[in-house]
Structure 1
Amino acid sequence: MRWLQGGPFLELSFIFNEPMKIEKVIAKLINTNVKIEVHNSPEHIQQFYEGYPYDEDDPHSVMIHRIEINLTVHTTRQRRAILFVEKISLELLSFSMCFFGDKDDAPEWNQPGIRDDELDEIICLLISLYRELKFSVGGLAIEEDMKGLFNVNKVWPNEKYNFANLTFKDNLHKFQAILVNQSLNEKLPEGQYTLIDNSCILYRNALN
């Protein structure tokens, strides 16, 4: 049985603008105010650095660096999650923590859903992760992550995945919440935002 079953998935995702060791990120995950357990061995995580070719038959193929890590996140209702880690360019590293995101529980899979009144708890987790990790941009959406905010029609890794090509136009409505470091806040359209820790801006979608 897979660690997560069914769907849709609620994705808590964030991107760093410089390479960061996964082990360092994991060490900081356990410092948040929500207990997070990691269930994969250091040897499993090491496979990320080894990578694999996009095309096994091409000796010059681009190398893919991607790993899935099983987590248990101790929110009010304990949840399983999968953390996807992907290198999307030389400088950018993408993390996406996926939860079972249906509003209804799935007792057959021992997976609680995410009710409307539980969404604030996940947004608080996003803020807590920012305080520990200081990523550049992060967000919360159903079946959508931060990679979709780049105006790039290329398979990653690709050097066009850089913050010059980051755009919120036509995409902001897809997210329940977005956190943007102040270094990127000029990319946000005009709207109502909340300043967090004098270093980042929180957007909340009033329609969700």
Structure 2
Amino acid sequence: MSWLQGGPFLELSFIFHEPTIIENVISKLNNIDVKIEVHNSPEYIQQFYEGYPFDEDDPHSKMIHRIEINLTVHTTRQRRALLFVEKISSELLSFSMSFFGAKEDASEWKQPGIRDEEIDEFICLLISLYRTLNFSVGGLAIEEDMIGLFDVNEAWPNEKYNFANLTFKNKLHKFYAILINQSLNEKLPEGQCILDNSCMLYRNALN
């Protein structure tokens, strides 16, 4: 059985400006308010740095650096999660923590769903992760992550994935919440954010 089954998935995603050492990020997960267990070995995680060619038959093919990590996250109801780590350009590294996101529980897979009143737990988790990890931008949505907010129609890795091309135009309504470092706060519409220390937090009132 795969670690996470079914769908849709609730995605808690965030982006770092390189250089970022994955092992340091994973180690700091122990410092947040919610207990997170990592089930993959350090040797497995090292495979991220080795990467693999996009086209094995092309000696000049771009290298893909991506890894999938199994987590257990101890929210009020314990949940399995998959953490996808992807290098999307020489400057940016994407993390996406995916949870089973249907509203109903999937007892056959021992996966709790996410009730409306439980969304606040994940927004608090997003904030706690920012305070510990200090990423550049993060968000919470069903079947939507931060990579989709770049105005780029290219497969990654690609140098067009940079913060100059980050936009929330026509996509803000898809997110339960978005948290963005103040250095990028001009990316969010005025009057829709709450100042929280070094970052801006946007909460979609429609969700």
| TM-score normalized by the length of structure 2 | 0.99
Query: Partner of 2:117 in structure 1?
Result: 117
Aligned residue runs from structure 1 range 1-208, under 5 A:
1-196=1-196, 198-208=197-207
Q: Deviations over 1:175-202 (max 9, x none)?
A: 1100010000011112321111x20011
AA aligned opposite 1:203: Y
Three-state SS of the structure 2 residue aligned to 1:121 is: helix
AA aligned opposite 1:163: F
How far apart in 1 are the matches of 2:100 and 2:187? 30
Q: Deviations over 1:60-85 (max 9, x none)?
A: 00000000000000000000000000
AA aligned opposite 1:141: A
8 Å contact 1:35–1:74 — kept in the other structure? yes
AA aligned opposite 1:158: N
Of stretches 183-192 and 167-176 in structure 1, the one that deviates more from structure 2 is: 183-192
8 Å contact 1:169–1:189 — kept in the other structure? no
8 Å contact 1:15–1:136 — kept in the other structure? yes
Three-state SS of the structure 1 residue aligned to 2:31 is: coil
> Structure 2: which 5+ runs fail to align?
none
Three-state SS of the structure 1 residue aligned to 2:155 is: coil
How far apart in 1 are the matches of 2:4 and 2:155? 25
How far apart in 2 are the matches of 1:57 and 1:134? 39
CA-atom RMSD, angstroms?
0.6
AA aligned opposite 1:27: S
Q: Deviations over 1:78-121 (max 9, x none)?
A: 00000000000001000000000001000100000000000000
Over the matched positions of the two proteins, sequence identity in percent amounts to 83
How far apart in 1 are the matches of 2:188 and 2:77? 33
| TM-score normalized by the length of structure 1 | 0.98
Shift of 1:19: 2.1
> Structure 1: which 5+ runs fail to align?
none
How far apart in 1 are the matches of 2:142 and 2:85? 18
Shift of 1:130: 0.1
Q: Which stretches of structure 1, 4 residues or longer, exceed 4 Å deviation after superposition? A: none
How far apart in 2 are the matches of 1:184 and 1:173? 19
Three-state SS of the structure 2 residue aligned to 1:190 is: coil
How far apart in 2 are the matches of 1:107 and 1:190? 43
Shift of 1:17: 1.3
AA aligned opposite 1:73: V
